[in-house]
Amino acid sequence: MPAFPPGFLWGVSASAFQTEGAARSDGKGPSVWDAFAAEPGRIKDGADASRGTGFHERYREDVALLAGLGAGAFRFSVSWPRVIPGGTGPASPAGLGFYDRLVDELCAHGITPAPTLYHWDTPLPLEEAGGWLSRDTAARFAEYAATVAERLADRVPMWITINEPAEVTMLGYALGEHAPGRKLLFDALPAAHHQLLAHGLAVQALRAAGAGNIGLAVSHSPVHAASDSDEDRSGAEIYDILTNRLFADPLLTGRYPDGFDDLMPGPVADDLAVISEPLDWYGVNYYSPMLVGAPAPDALDSYAGLGMPDGLPFGLREIDGAERTHFGWPVVPDGLRELLVGLRQRYGDRLPPVHITENGCSYEGLDDARRIAFLDGHLRALHRAVEEGVDVRGYFVWSLTDNIEWAEGASQRFGLVHIDYDTLQRTPKASYAWYRDVIRAQRARGTTTAGSGD
C-alpha cells in the first residue's frame, strides 16, 4: 500500500439505528425507522431491527475492537430520539449519559470520537408532524445539535451534521423504499431543502456551543451516460443533478442547479446563505458509479433491491464486466478517484479538505478475501486521487461490525467484524486483520497519527 499524507486519519463508521438496539432504554422515544421496521414486510428478511447488534450494551467490547484495529477515529451516530425522545423539549439525561460514556471510552483508548448527529432516525412525533417536508424539523434539529454539543464538545474534535440527505429524500420520501415510506416522486424535493437547511442551522448551533471541525457525509457516485445519444446524455445529466449536484452545489456554492430554486419551499435565497455555511471538511460516501440513460425498455426495474417506478426521466443500466458485491453493487475502485478528481474540478477552491466518510462492501464469510480486495483497490484509487491533487484527510470503512442494513435487515454483511445475530457474538474477519496491518504500516511510516481529527 502506498504511503498516505502525514496526519491521515484512519477510521471506521457505524450508525445508531443499525447497531444500538435497546429501543426503549434511556427513555428513548420511537424513531421513524422503529415505526417503519414494525410494519410487516418492510424489513425484507424479517430481522429484528430493534435489537441491532447490541451496541448500546456492548459498546465497550466494540471500542476494544476499535483499539485492537488501531483505528484513529470512530464515526458513530447519535440517536436523536434517544437524546430528545419527542424530537423537541427537554433532553433525556440517561440518553445523553450513554453518549457521554461512549465518548469517554473512546478517548480513553486514544480514538477520536466523530459523531454524526443525524443518520436517518427522525423522532417519530416530528415525522408525524411532517418530518423533512416541514421547515420546523430543521429548527428542531438545530436545537438538538446544540444540546449534544453543549454536553460533548469539550471531548469531541470532529462533527458530522447529517448523513446522506439524498438517500433520505429519494428512498424515504420519493420512492417509499425506506422510512417514512412516502412515494412522492418530485414532490419530495422539500425534504432535500429542509435537510440542507437543518445542516446549515446545525453548523451555526455547533459553533455557538464551542464545537469545531465540522462537516457532513454526502453520498456521491460518478454518473456515466449509457451511450452518446442525446437522450441518454440527458437522462444521465438529470440523474447526476438529482443525486450529486442538488446537494453539493448549495453546500459548496450557495446555489441550486439551474431551475431548482423555484421548486424549493421558503425564502430560498436566505436559506442558501445558511446552507452554505463554510465547512471545515466535506465528507464523501462512495460505493459504486452509476450507468444511466433515457427511460427505455431495457432499463432496470430495480437496483440493489430498490424498485424503480415508471415515469422517471432516466433509466438505470447494468455496468457490464464488473464484479459485484453480495448486494449486487458493481465493484469499480477507480470510480472513487474519478469522483474526487471530478469534485475538485467542478468546485475548485470551494471544495474543502475531504474525508471519505463511508466506503465498504457486503460479502459473506469470515475469510473475506473479496472484501480485502475491494478495500485494497479503493485505497489505491484514493491514493491516486491524492497524487492528482485532491486534499484527502481521512478514510472510514463502512463498517466496524455487521449491522442491520435498513430494509435489507441482517442479510447484507458490511462489517470487518462478524455478528452472530442469535448470540451477538463478535468475531473479527480476515479483513479486520488486513485493515489493522494497513494502519500499522502507515503509522510506522510516520504518515498517520492515532486520534488525529485535523
Q: Report the pLDDT averaged over residues 311-325.
A: 94
Q: Is the pLDDT of residue 454 over 60?
A: no
What confidence score (pLDDT) does residue 447 get?
58
Residue 128 sits at φ, ψ, to 5 deg, of -65, -20
Q: How far, rounded to the nearest angstrom, does the alpha carbon of residue 231 sit from its chain's CA centroid? A: 32
Put simply, whether the predicted model's pTM sits higher than 0.75 gets the answer yes
Residue-wise pLDDT tens digits, 277-287: 999 999 999 99
Specify the range with the lowest mean pLDDT, choosing from 70-79, 108-117, 195-204, 440-449. Answer: 440-449
- N- to C-terminal Cα distance for the chain? 22
CA–CA gap between residue 387 and residue 136 (Å, rounded): 44
CB burial string 55-75: b at 16+ within 10 A, e below: bbebbeebbebbbebbbbbbb
SS3 (DSSP) at 34: helix
Residue-wise pLDDT tens digits, 251-294: 999 999 999 999 999 999 999 999 999 999 999 999 999 999 99
What confidence score (pLDDT) does residue 301 get?
85
Tell me, what amino acid is at 269?
Answer: A
What confidence score (pLDDT) does residue 23 get?
84
Q: Is 150 known to be catalytic?
A: no
SS3 (DSSP) at 212: coil
What confidence score (pLDDT) does residue 453 get?
37
What confidence score (pLDDT) does residue 452 get?
39
CA–CA gap between residue 235 and residue 257 (Å, rounded): 16
CA–CA gap between residue 259 and residue 249 (Å, rounded): 13
- Residue pair 299/315 in contact (Cβ under 8 Å)? The answer is yes
| Beta-bridge mates of residue 73 | 11, 112
| Active-site residue, selected from the candidate residues 277, 338, 358, 405 | 358
Q: What is the dihedral of CA 290, 291, 296, 300, to 10 degrees?
A: -50
Question: Mean pLDDT of all residues in the chain?
Answer: 96
What confidence score (pLDDT) does residue 53 get?
97
Q: Report the pLDDT averaged over residues 435-454.
A: 75
CA–CA gap between residue 385 and residue 373 (Å, rounded): 18
Please report the sign of the dihedral spanned by the C-alpha atoms of residue 345, residue 346, residue 349, residue 353.
negative
What confidence score (pLDDT) does residue 450 get?
47
Residue-wise pLDDT tens digits, 191-240: 999 999 999 999 999 999 999 999 999 999 999 999 999 999 999 999 99
In the chain, % of residues over pLDDT 70? 98
Q: Report the pLDDT averaged over residues 142-159.
A: 98
How many angstroms separate the Cα of 42 from the Cα of each of 49, 300, 443? 11, 22, 44
SS3 (DSSP) at 321: coil
SS3 (DSSP) at 393: strand
Q: Is the pLDDT of residue 449 over 80?
A: no
Q: Residue 150: which residues within 8 A CB-CB, separation 6 or more?
A: 209
Q: Residue 61: which residues within 8 A CB-CB, separation 6 or more?
A: 426
CA–CA gap between residue 171 and residue 299 (Å, rounded): 18
| Domains of the chain, each with CATH number or no CATH | 9-444 (3.20.20.80)
Residue-wise pLDDT tens digits, 2-53: 999 999 999 999 999 999 998 888 999 999 999 999 999 999 999 999 999 9
Q: Is 164 known to be catalytic?
A: yes
Q: Tell me which DSSP letter residue 310 carries.
A: T
| Active-site residue, selected from the candidate residues 164, 177, 338, 405 | 164
Q: Tell me which DSSP letter residue 241 carries.
A: I
